[in-house]
Amino acid sequence: MTRKPLRPLASILKARKDGESAEAIERANLRERHDEMQNKARVRAEGRLLVMSFLFLAAFGAVGTRMGAVAMTDATEPRRSYSASHIQAERADIVDRKGRILATNLETHALYAQPPHMIDKERVARELAAIFPDLDEDRLVKDFTGKRKFLWVKKKLSPEQKQAVHDIGDPGLQFGRREMRLYPNGQLAAHVLGGSTFGEEDVHAAELVGVAGVEKYFDEVLRDPANGGRALTLSLDLTVQDASERVLYGGMKLMNAKGASSVLMDVHTGEIISMVSLPDFDPNDRPRVLTEGNAGDSPLFNRSVQGLYELGSTFKIFTAAQSMDLGLANPSTLINTAGPLRWGKFKIRDFRNYGSELTVTKIIVKSSNIGTARMAQVIGAVRQQDFLGKLGFLKPTEVELVEAKGAQPLLPRNWSELSTMTISYGHGMSASPLHLAAGYAAIANGGTQVSPTILKRDRVQEGARVMSASSAAAARKMLRKVVSEGTASFGEVPGYAVGGKTGTADKPKERGGGYYEDKVIATFAAMFPAHAPKYVLIVSLDEPVETSGTEPRRTAGWTAVPVAAEMIARVAPLLGLRPQVEPAELADITLTSN
pLDDT tens-digit map of 415-471: 999 999 999 999 999 999 999 999 999 999 999 999 999 999 989 998 999 999 999
Cβ neighbours of residue 133 closer than 8 Å, sequence gap 6 or more: none
Cβ neighbours of residue 257 closer than 8 Å, sequence gap 6 or more: 251, 541, 542, 543, 544, 545, 559
What is the C-alpha to C-alpha distance for residues 124 and 137, in angstroms, rounded to an integer?
A: 9
The whole-number pLDDT of residue 437 equals 97
Share of the chain above pLDDT 90, in %: 66
| 399 confidence band (pLDDT: 50, 70, 90) | very high
- Paired strand residues for 106: 180
What is the C-alpha to C-alpha distance for residues 439 and 499, in angstroms, rounded to an integer?
A: 14
- Paired strand residues for 506: 520
Contact 549, 476 (CB under 8 A): no
Start and end residues for every CATH 3.40.710.10 domain found in the chain: 239-575
CA-to-CA separations, 281 to 88, 174, 302, in angstroms, rounded: 28, 32, 11
The whole-number pLDDT of residue 48 equals 86
| 5 confidence band (pLDDT: 50, 70, 90) | low
The whole-number pLDDT of residue 2 equals 60
Average pLDDT over residues 489-503: 95
Residue 180 has pLDDT above 60, yes or no: yes
What is the per-residue pLDDT across 194-235, written as a single tens digit (0 to 9) for each?
999 888 777 777 788 999 999 999 999 999 888 888 999 999
What is the C-alpha to C-alpha distance for residues 305 and 275, in angstroms, rounded to an integer?
A: 9
Residue 504 sits at the vertex; the CA angle it makes with 502 and 507, to the nearest 5 degrees, is 155
What value does the CA radius of gyration of the chain take, rounded to a whole number of Å?
39
The whole-number pLDDT of residue 76 equals 44
Amino acid sitting at position 8: P
SS3 (DSSP) at 6: coil
CATH class of 94-130+157-167+176-233: alpha beta
SS3 (DSSP) at 286: coil
User: φ, ψ for residue 504 (rounded to 5)?
Assistant: -125, 115
Residue 317 sits at the vertex; the CA angle it makes with 236 and 334, to the nearest 5 degrees, is 160
The whole-number pLDDT of residue 483 equals 96
Helix (H) or strand (E) holding 342, with range, is: strand 341-343
Average pLDDT over residues 95-101: 96
CA-CA-CA-CA torsion sign (41, 42, 47, 49): positive
Give this prediction's pTM.
0.80
More confident residue, 58 or 545: 545
Architecture of domain 239-575 in CATH? Answer: 3-Layer(aba) Sandwich (3.40)
What is the C-alpha to C-alpha distance for residues 505 and 425, in angstroms, rounded to an integer?
A: 10
Start and end residues for every CATH 3.90.1310.10 domain found in the chain: 94-130+157-167+176-233
What is the C-alpha to C-alpha distance for residues 518 and 251, in angstroms, rounded to an integer?
A: 19
- Paired strand residues for 272: 265
What is the per-residue pLDDT across 250-291, written as a single tens digit (0 to 9) for each?
999 999 999 999 999 999 999 999 999 999 999 999 998 877
Residue 29 has pLDDT above 80, yes or no: no
Q: What is the CA 399 to chain-centroid distance, rounded?
A: 8
Of 409, 96, 448, 449, the C-alpha closest to 272 is 96
What is the per-residue pLDDT across 338-378, written as a single tens digit (0 to 9) for each?
978 988 888 999 888 888 899 999 999 999 999 999 999 99
What is the C-alpha to C-alpha distance for residues 503 and 561, in angstroms, rounded to an integer?
A: 10
